[in-house]
Every structure is written in C-alpha cells, then in structure tokens.
Amino acid sequence: MPGPDKRMTEAEAVAELSSGMTVGIGGWGSRRKPMSIVREILRSDLTDLTIVAYGGPDVGLLCKTGKVRKVISGFVSLDSIPLEPFYRQARQDGTIEAAEWDEGMLLLGLTAAGWRVPFLPTRAGLGSDVPVEMPDLLTVKSPYAEPDSGEFETLLAVPALDLDVAFVHQNRADMSGNSVWLGEDPFFDDLFVRAAKKAYVSCESVVATEELAGLADVTHLKISRLDVAGVIEAPGGAHFTECPPDYGRDETFQKRYAATGKSEEDWEAFRTDFLDIDEQGYQAKVSELRRANS
Amino acid sequence: MNTSETTATRRADVCAVAIADCFAGDGERLCNPIGNLPLIGGRLAVATSEPHLALTDGFYTLIDNVPPVGMSEAERLENRIVAHWNPYREMFGLLWHGRRHVMMGATQIDRHGNQNLAAIGDWKQPKSQLLGFRGAPGNTINHTTSYWVPKHGPKVFVESVDVVSGVGYDRAAALGPVASRFHEIRRVVSNLAVMDFESDDSDGVAVMRLRSVHPGVSVDEVAEETGFDLVVEGEVPESRVPTAEELSMLDQVDPSGNRFKEVPDQ
C-alpha cells in the first residue's frame, strides 16, 4: 500500500513552527542545506529560535535576520569560505548565545535524541575548553572498570539534542517521505529526522515510490516515511549550497553573499533582491544570473 | 655539506620532509593532514617512507593512491583509487577508534601543545571568531596529532592560548592516565624549525622542545620568535634536507609548486 500523501509547501511547513522552538537543520557547512525552507523562515515573523546544525549559510542568514536566540553547532562555515560572516558577526557582537561543540559530539547528541536516551558518553571534549566554556555539559562515571587499570573512567555525557522540528534536503523523495540522497555523504540528515518531534524533507523532485530503489543502491534510502511529517518539492531548494549530483555549490553567488558581510548597504540590496521575494522569484533570479554569467 | 647544496635547498622542501617525518612509524593508519603544506608532506610520506598509510580524497572516501594536490573537482574524482567509503559519521567512528594521525593548523599554541583555532579573546564574546572547536577536542584526546605553523612567531607560540580547542599535555595529565591514554601530540613543524614534546617540566609534564632548526635558521632566531621559553637541549641539529628521491616525488605531489607560495625561501 502506498503511504499517505504528505506533500506541502515551504509556507505550510514553516507555519508549523512557533517562536522559541528548537529547530535542527540537516546538511553540512555549505552542502545540501534546505535553503528554500530557511528562506521561508526569513520571511516569517518567527524569533528566538534555537538552531542545531553543522552550520553554513542557513545559520548565518538566520542570525543576520534576528531569528535566532541560540546556535548549537559543530561549526559554522561556508566551506570554500572558511568563516561564515554573519555567524561571526553575531558572535563578536554578542547578539546570540552559542554552544560550539566538538563536531563528533553533535552526532552523539542527535543519536541520543533519536534513541530516546538522555545522553551518550564520549571522550571527545574532555580536557578542552568545550566543557569549561559550556558548563551545562556534564561528565559521567562509567559503571564498568576499565580492564587494564581497573579504574572507572569519567566520560563526557553528551546530552540528547531533542528537536521540536527538523528540516533536511534530499535529492529525491516520494510523497510520503521515503527519501534518497545521491551524493557521497548522507551527512546526519537521518539523525536530525529521528531527533525531532516533527521532520520535514525538502527534495529536488518528488518521485513514485517504485522509482526510489532504482535511483541508487538501497543503502541510500536512509530516511523513511515513518519519521517524516511533510514533503516539500523544492527544485534548486539547496541553492546556493551544493546538492550533488543535481548541482554544485554556486560559488559566485556564495561570494556575493559573503561579501555583503562587509557592507550594510550591500546586505540590504542582497536582501531586497533575493530574500524579500518568494521562492519562485528567487529561483527565477538565480536562473537569470546563471544565464548572464555563462 | 658544501655550499652549492645549501644554496639549492629550498625551505618549503625542508618543511615538507619534516612534515613527512612526523608520520614515521605510523604503519597502517589514516594519515590525515589538513592544509596546503601538511597535505604535501603527508602525501610525500605515503609515497616514500610509510607506504601503508591511508589518505582521504579530501571528502568522503579513503584512497589507496597518492594524487597531486591542487586538482579541480573533476580531476580529484578521476585521480582517486577508492578503497573505502568514509562519510563524516564514519570518520568520527574511525577517529574515536584511534587509527589516525591528524596534522592541524594552530592560530595559537602553548608550551604544552594546547592549540587554539576557535576564537581570539574571551570565547563567550570573542574579539575575533575563528573556526570554533571543530574536531580538535575529539582528535587530540583520541589519537596522535601534530601541528603545522607556516609563520612561526610570538603571536602563534604563546604563553597561554585564549581558548583550548586541541588538548595539550598539561590538560591531558589533569584528566589522569586512563582518560588521556590515547593522547599524543607528536610534533609541531613551522617554517623555521621542528619541535617535539620529548622533554618534561618540573612537574613531569611534557613540554615543547626544539628538535631541529631548518638550514639557515639559528636557535636564537627560533627562541625570539617563540612567546615562551622553548626547551633547548645541547646542540640542536639542523633539520634534514630532502633526498633526491623525495625532491622528485615532491614535484609529482605538488607539480604547481604550491608549497613555495606558502613558504617562500628566506
């Protein structure tokens, strides 16, 4: 039997959010980010969000537009441009609260939430300033003796990252949320989905369920409809981040975005040109730019 | 060494072999240098002295060949012999398991090898936000780490780092022998010298020691460019110069000479 039809628009998905919620965003840096959803959040009146991400321009844009109270991240970077200008500005101006975890800790926090356990232990973070600067991170003593020393080892207890909502972008999905990624790394999208009370998948195109297993080997069918509340068909939805093999990162556009960090006037122009318009208008502008540049 | 050989030795090549030598004895594990010169030196190690090391393709696979640096995305995909799928979650598994030696950069590093790449100033509201902690805490507490510093100076080699992202020997010692049993900061290679931690302070904690100075660099110069008292024991040897085989391999690994742009001849 086919699963239920969960197709919806970005606006319908974002309407499920309320201010103060904890929102997870899939992808990694400037790679396969659900940017059409992020753009929709920018147009909303939401505030005080806690964002959990391996951050890229999603986090930068949400910080710049005043949507964020707190960012919990493994890093925030544009990859080809190492420092995200607006996250950096928000940190230096003190306009957001930050939790900067070791990259691997984020994987554990998301996994713990998905498994419905309060924490997962790790050695990562011990001895560094992560638990010093973020004293809400606590340690746990192993109940088992370490065999060689007989000691009961102390480990960092990474708290579960329980998300109200998660957004991820996949290459293809069916109308019920069974999804397939076609690049070389699933990143942590499946973990974000399981860590959330409600998860939404945007995708390059919605296909029939029987087509999914033919698009890649079955190990790429990483997200199941059981965990998905809504499916948004968003061709070009990850732009300007990469979404291989459908498209690479739009480096020209990313450079232009990053440069607006140096001039409020340029930012306002960027905002007017690309963010104060709807997704259809955005995609039309991007196509226009691409034609002009080619 | 005669004069003509000295003149022919280029500083970037000395740095590259010093980096390659960091991985000596590592055998079969992931050699994971991050950055321009580290990549060149790491790949040189695999191509010469440590052929069983594995490399990454820079992204999501481990490869069993030594491609040149500085390739386009299409060339990168063409010039790799994929041996293993290694997406980020798998990389965390690999590094928590410990069969990896990473070489990272450092905006600041202190005498015990504490590294900062996170932020300058107070972390809570930094004067300058840098990369954040990234993977440095997990790397340093789980497996061997070395560092590369392209511009040795007192603002990098500091008395005390603003934020500890990579764990140094004093922090590791404070955790006790069990929690720190996988911790090893092996070397720091800079454009001037090679440092190691094969010396202890009065508390028995490993401290940075000048291991060798690159040809043309004096011990005094390194001391002046270091913001803390670097341990100097007896006569400090000169860093070794590349062999003919290494020089030819360096030209294959770095055909466009990226290493000379990062480390110009003095």
How far A89 CA lies from chain B's nearest CA (Å)?
8
Whether A65 has its CB under 8 Å from any CB of chain B: the answer is: no
Q: What is the mean pLDDT of residues B99-113?
A: 98
Query: Comparing C-alpha atoms, which of B60, B22, B61 is closest to residue B39?
Result: B22
Residues in chain B with CB shorter than 8 Å from the CB of A123 are 96, 138, 141-142, 179, 182
A279 has pLDDT over 70: yes
pLDDT band for position A165 (cuts 50, 70, 90): very high
Coil, helix or strand for B161?
coil
Coil, helix or strand for B28?
coil
pLDDT band for position A16 (cuts 50, 70, 90): very high
- Let me know: does A203 contact A209? Beta carbons within 8 Å: no
User: CB B118 to CB A151 under 8 A?
Assistant: no
- Let me know: does A228 contact A34? Beta carbons within 8 Å: no
Q: What is the mean pLDDT of residues B120-131?
A: 98
Q: What is the mean pLDDT of residues A126-136?
A: 98
pLDDT band for position B8 (cuts 50, 70, 90): confident
ipTM of predicted complex: 0.96
pLDDT band for position B5 (cuts 50, 70, 90): very low
Which of A87, A92, A130 is facing B137, going by the closest CB pair?
Answer: A130
Domain boundaries along the sequence of chain A = 10-102+161-250, 121-159
**Domain A10-102+161-250, CATH:** 3.40.1080.10
Which contacts (CB < 8 Å, 24+ apart) does range B197-204 have?
B197/B113, B197/B169, B199/B231, B199/B233, B201/B111, B203/B173, B204/B173
B67 has pLDDT over 50: yes
What residue ranges define each of the domains in chain B, with the CATH number in brackets? 3-262 (3.40.1080.10)
Coil, helix or strand for B12?
helix
Which of A128, A149, A186 is facing B87, going by the closest CB pair?
Answer: A186
Q: What is the mean pLDDT of residues A207-220?
A: 96
Percentage above 70 pLDDT, chain B: 97
Name the residue of chain A whose CA is nearest to B137's CA. Answer: A125
Coil, helix or strand for B32?
strand
Whether A268 has its CB under 8 Å from any CB of chain B: the answer is: no
User: CB A101 to CB B140 under 8 A?
Assistant: no
Which of A73, A128, A187 is facing B164, going by the closest CB pair?
Answer: A128
Whether A181 has its CB under 8 Å from any CB of chain B: the answer is: no
Encode pLDDT of A69-126 as tens digits: 999 999 999 999 999 999 999 999 999 999 999 999 999 999 999 999 999 999 999 9
B1 has pLDDT over 60: no
Residues in chain A with CB shorter than 8 Å from the CB of B89 are 107, 186, 188
Per DSSP, B243 falls in state P
Residues in chain A with CB shorter than 8 Å from the CB of B179 are 123, 126-127, 153-155
Whether A5 has its CB under 8 Å from any CB of chain B: the answer is: no
Q: What is the mean pLDDT of residues B182-203?
A: 98
Percentage above 90 pLDDT, chain A: 98
pLDDT band for position A241 (cuts 50, 70, 90): very high
A68, β-bridge pairs: A49
B2 has pLDDT over 90: no
Which of A105, A187, A248 is facing B88, going by the closest CB pair?
Answer: A187
